[in-house]
Amino acid sequence: MVKDNKIPGISLLNNFQSTDKSRIRVRRAYDIGPGCLLKYCDLQVTPQSDTNLKVIVPFGELTKEKVIVGGSSKTSADIYSCQERGCVLTFRSQQEADAHMDTGKHKNELESESLYDTICKKWAT
């Protein structure tokens, strides 16, 4: 069985700083006031005993996945959207999208209608 290790007033403390191998400084807020120095030996921490847990299936090798943030990977299925707010046009290439932005001929539509608008239209017809 696992025994509880409790530090008096721990719920009031938010900042913990290890000063050296034998002490820890605790404060209610980050770097506010001198805080309180506690010695590790005074905490009366009981080491956790064996839990008798058995590893049935070990974890596999960790692999890093390549993630592109804020960019786009170039594939043949890329779709480029107009950057103008409300314009719903899409293009096959960045050049087509740039040419569209230069002309300024935007097709503005609501991409989705709110439930309130749908109800009002049905009520009016």
The pLDDT tens digits for 68-113 are: 666 555 555 688 888 887 788 888 888 888 888 888 788 777 667 7
Are 45 and 5 within 8 A, CB to CB?
Answer: yes
**pLDDT for the residue 92:** 86
Residue 53 has pLDDT above 80, yes or no: yes
pLDDT band at 17 (very low <50, low <70, confident <90, very high): confident
Residue count of the chain: 125
Q: What is the DSSP letter of 93?
A: S
At residue 77, the pLDDT reads 62
Residue 89 corresponds to which amino acid?
A: L
Q: Determine the average pLDDT of the residues in 9-19.
A: 83
